[in-house]
Structure 1
């Protein structure tokens, strides 16, 4: 508990934390308010369109916009130690490197989960009110829940991956570039290469961020055949949402283990 309290105070004391969270909240609110635009009078938005709104266009952008905005915060606690040499203060305060790192992981995961849930609730409330005020029907909210759960899982895991990547490469800029470029380009190129090799095509479905997108795409089952094919291309994986969630969670655990080993055994930060 002492480690969690210490890490939370460290994160909460940064003005950038509240600026980033405010920006994400504002964007969620705006996304909800924009829901009625383009709808026919008296119609309701589809479950998939609402799922993408709640997830901040995770599939279209290849990563949730909220995840990209959280990167400075997700990498911040490690980056501060790297640039300011403050790790020794943390270790002296908590008397254990493993405790310090686990506290960073738990606080980061909690912030990611709460950001996803809070933002989704804000978007849903603003969308519901705006739809009612403009005479539109409400969407099938229950059909968006599986995709919302996948989104919360992704956002819970995202700070853990970001922290561990920063520890492993020991450079914040390199970590951010890797976390942005790999899901956008690296996995696409790797997936295409794997599909060209006989017998390795199924491996492409299990690439971590493709699996993460599959976990968030449960509501895509409500799409027409043509729209589902296009969405599947954007996802880059044929896994079910449950299999995608399991694969992405396993990748996160692996990253956390490797990050813990690097943090506890390296001499100087």
Structure 2
């Protein structure tokens, strides 16, 4: 006799599996102390920046305070990416929300469980990108609103002139989009390198120093002069900057690119997509630890 055959097992639909994967990633983030520590530091930095906005105001003869110009206001709202080469908020958030989800499961040998549970490495990877981007975007929006509200209140209490807040909106929107891209790019780098330490070093040293050296070396090669302007974080600085009527040569040197903001944003988006795709290829073909 043949054993009775039951109904075929049903495979959960892709949206259901992705929803489960996203819920798992959110639960994992909420359970980490580092998540709340980083968010607390970001909110504290936003409050401090808002309270110190008064010190950013230029003064005329007689100590009369003048309103901030749009370029300085945008840079202040973006956590000073020009002077620091990257927004401080990005460095605070990316290592928890970007490199952590991929590298942690490889380090602690939980990747196999995730892959078997979900039945798809692509879904597991996509969930990490979605949660990372959404979490960083939410945190950046919260910090931005808190910083702007505190700065507005500080200027009001000090009876100082308010800047043209609306003029900085396009730069702020570019900032938020770039912030959402940071964890996606970081996840791709972490998947490629397979190490959180290596990924953290790469995402710290490369934007601050590596691109400068790479741009200089590329500029020495005939026919490649100017290629350094199209490197990812150099392009991101160009996207975040609001050009004035006369851009300070020193500021332009800090930015490292003459690309228009829209062009810089497009270049950074392409680099992010390339890193995420390369990370996906490595992640889906990696041997289970």
Q: 1:1-269 counterparts in 2 under 5 A?
A: 1-37=19-55, 39=57, 40=59, 41-73=64-96, 74-217=98-241, 219=242, 221-222=243-244, 225=246, 227=248, 229-269=249-289
> By percentage of residues, which structure has more helix?
1
SS in 2 for 1:150: helix
> How far 1:48 sits from its partner (Å)?
2.0
SS in 1 for 2:53: coil
CA contact (8 A) 2:107 2:195 kept: no
Structure 2: unaligned runs, 5 residues or longer: 1-18
Higher gyration radius (CA): 2
CA deviation vs aligned residue, 1:71-95 (integer Å, no higher than 9, x gap): 3302111222122101122112222
Structure 1: unaligned runs, 5 residues or longer: none
> How far 1:45 sits from its partner (Å)?
2.0
| Structure 1: 4+ residue segments shifted above 4 A | none
> How far 1:50 sits from its partner (Å)?
1.8
Match of 2:13 in 1: none
> How far 1:61 sits from its partner (Å)?
0.6
> How far 1:192 sits from its partner (Å)?
1.4
Instruction: State TM-score, norm by structure 2.
Output: 0.88
Aligned length: 265
> How far 1:226 sits from its partner (Å)?
5.2
Match of 2:9 in 1: none
> How far 1:197 sits from its partner (Å)?
2.8
Write the distance in 1 (CA, Å) between the matches of 2:203 and 2:265: 18
Write the distance in 1 (CA, Å) between the matches of 2:88 and 2:201: 15
> How far 1:202 sits from its partner (Å)?
2.5
CA RMSD, 1 decimal? 1.4
Write the distance in 2 (CA, Å) between the matches of 1:143 and 1:92: 50
> How far 1:38 sits from its partner (Å)?
5.5
CA contact (8 A) 1:32 1:53 kept: no
Instruction: State TM-score, norm by structure 1.
Output: 0.94
